[in-house]
Amino acid sequence: MSSTNELIFAKRHMVLVFFMTLGFVGLVGRGLYLHVIDQEFLRRQGDARIVREEPIAAHRGILKDRNGLPLAVSTPVVSIYVNPKEALARKLDVRALASALDLDATSVLRRLKANSKREFMYVKRHLSPEAAEAVLASEMPGVYGMTEYRRFYPEGEVTSHLLGFTNLDDVGQEGLELAFDEKLRGESGAKKVLLDRKGRKVKDVALIRPARTGQDIYLSFDARTQYLAYRELATAIAQHGAKAGTAVALDVETGEVLAMVNQPSFNPNNRTKLKPDELRNRAVTDMFEPGSTMKPFTVAVALESGKYTARSLLNTNPGSYRVHNKLVTDHQNYGVIDLGTVITKSSNVGTTQIALSLPPETLPTFFARFGFGKSTGSGFPGESPGRLQPPERWRPVEIATMSYGYGLTTTALQLAHGYATLASGGIARPVSFTKVEGPVKGERVIAQKIAEQLIPMMESVVTQDGTAMKAAVPGYRIAGKTGTAHKAVGGSYSADQYMSTFVGMAPASRPKIVLAVVIDSPSNGQYYGGLVSAPVFSRIMAETLRMMNVEPDRSAEHLAQQGKLPLSPIMARRDGV
Catalytic residues: 292
Residue in 389, 380, 382, 366 with CA at minimum distance from that of residue 289: 389
Helix (H, G, I), strand (E, B) or coil at 564: coil
How far is 183 from 250, CA to CA, in rounded Å?
A: 24
Residue in 409, 437, 58 with CA at minimum distance from that of residue 256: 437
DSSP string, 409-438: BB-HHHHHHHHHHHHTTSEE---BSB---S
What amino acid is encoded at 263 in this protein? Q
Decide: 498 and 487 in contact? Cβ < 8 Å. yes
How far is 180 from 84, CA to CA, in rounded Å?
A: 37
What amino acid is encoded at 154 in this protein? P
Decide: 233 and 263 in contact? Cβ < 8 Å. yes
How far is 333 from 347, CA to CA, in rounded Å?
A: 9
- The angle formed by the CA atoms of residues 286, 283 and 416, to the nearest 5 degrees, is 115
Residue in 382, 348, 354, 384 with CA at minimum distance from that of residue 366: 354
Helix (H, G, I), strand (E, B) or coil at 459: helix
- The angle formed by the CA atoms of residues 534, 436 and 385, to the nearest 5 degrees, is 55
How far is 258 from 244, CA to CA, in rounded Å?
A: 21
Helix (H, G, I), strand (E, B) or coil at 566: coil
How far is 64 from 73, CA to CA, in rounded Å?
A: 9
Half-sphere exposure of 370 (CA within 13 A, CB side): 33
What amino acid is encoded at 130 in this protein? E
Residue in 212, 215, 78 with CA at minimum distance from that of residue 149: 78
